[in-house]
Amino acid sequence: MIKMFVARRIQHWYPKALPLSKLSSSGSSQLGDLGSGAGKGGGGGGAIREAGGSFGKMEAAREEEYFYKKQLEQLERLKNDQIHQAEYHHQQIKEHEEAIERHKVFLENLPK
């Protein structure tokens, strides 16, 4: 449940990110045995994967590794963006507090 929520938030913040089916493990039920030939979904996935055998399994492993690394990069970018946003908001709070103090001093120094 939480994993799907995170995947949806990533899609919301990064529209060009990987499709949800690649981010969540729920889409793997239709794959069958990776690299063993054409999948249940109707698409073949290329000549090497359709042929099956060790080359098909190796290609499937490379594809899984690619998407795993892509997901790690996206999560790292998301983490960095959140850190930068938090720093920005802390800076804004500091500037607003300083402005409030300046206005208080100004109001105290006004002639009555």
CA distance between the termini of the chain: 62
CA distance 82 to 2: 18
Contacts 24+ apart (CB under 8 A), 65-71: 67/18, 67/22, 70/18, 70/22, 71/18, 71/22, 71/23
Confidence of residue 100 (pLDDT cuts 50, 70, 90): very high
25-44 per-residue burial string, b: 16 or more CB within 10 A, e: under 16:
eeeeeeeeebbeebbeeeee
pLDDT in tens, 38-76: 555 555 666 766 777 888 888 889 999 999 999 999 999
Res. 101: pLDDT tops 70: yes
- Tokens representing residue 10 in the block: 């990533």
pLDDT at 57: 86
pLDDT at 6: 58
CA distance 36 to 52: 4
pLDDT at 9: 63
Helix, strand, coil shares of the chain, percent, nearest 5, are 75, 0, 25
CA distance 7 to 26: 11
